[in-house]
Amino acid sequence: MRSFVLALLLCWSTFGNAAPAPLRFSAVDSWAMPLAKFEDNRLVGGIIHDVIERLVQRLDVPAQIQVLPRNRVELALSQGEIDVRCYISPKWITHSENYLWSVPFIQQRDLIVARRGSPRLASPDALSGLSIGTVLGYTYPRLQHLFDRGALHRDEARNQELALQKLLAGRYQFAVSNELALSWFNRDLPDSDRLENVATLEEEPVSCLIRNDPALPTQRILRTLLQMKESGEIEGIMARYR
């Protein structure tokens, strides 16, 4: 009897000290620095890596980050394979009914960029008849009417950095890039090679999307992201990559 009681107490102790389940995050393999750095299909650096790392430190839970193609992330969300998706806007996702949105924490600015000395564009319609560098799987609402009628051709790249490299090499005259990626790409180039913003395509605040599941500390995650934003901690992370 005594041995049975000891075994039961040991089981209780084991369950009581069990490590919390990891919080499952997604990362998109087409992201580029300073947003994300990948090695061997793992997220190892960049703004989103650092935001996730600091968030789970505050929550005192481990993180599990799945690196996925952009067109696979929404399916993973719908199938409950990930808990948190960061760097996302309501305009970029089809279904988010079972998820809660965090406070926006980064302002995404999509730009039309060109090689040095190119004239500024008065309107995206000025691109009619050309090819433009884009990222595979990304949507560009302001350009979609041109794509739909065949007036503008997408020249796809696997990620944002490759799209800019192809522009620099002269594969096309224009490409779409977010402002963060453009600044990072230009940082080590001589002035004569730096790519330039010739038009602002759109601006959109981006957030984290959290699965609305009673098994998750959903409200704690939302509050912690709000605290990180209001305290300037997220801005401090971003400042390290400027």
Domain ranges across the chain: 19-106+204-239, 108-203
What local confidence, expressed as pLDDT, does residue 6 receive?
44
Q: CB–CB of 160/30 below 8 Å?
A: yes
Closest CA to 109 of 240, 41, 203, 5: 203
Instruction: Kindly list the averaged pLDDT for each block of 10 residues, start to end, along the chain of length 242.
Output: 46 54 94 95 96 97 94 85 92 79 93 94 89 92 93 95 96 96 95 95 93 92 97 95 88
| Identity of the residue numbered 202 | E
Gap between the Cα atoms of 241 and 224, Å rounded: 22
Main-chain phi, psi angles of 112, to 5 degrees: -95, 125
**Comparing 19-106+204-239 with 108-203, is the CATH topology the same?**
yes
CATH number of 19-106+204-239: 3.40.190.10
Can you give the pTM of this predicted structure? Answer: 0.86
Class of domain 108-203: alpha beta
What local confidence, expressed as pLDDT, does residue 122 receive?
87
Terminal Cα distance for the chain, rounded: 66
What local confidence, expressed as pLDDT, does residue 71 receive?
82
> Residue 221: enclosing H or E segment and its boundaries?
helix 218-230
Q: Which two tokens stand for residue 159?
A: 């990620």
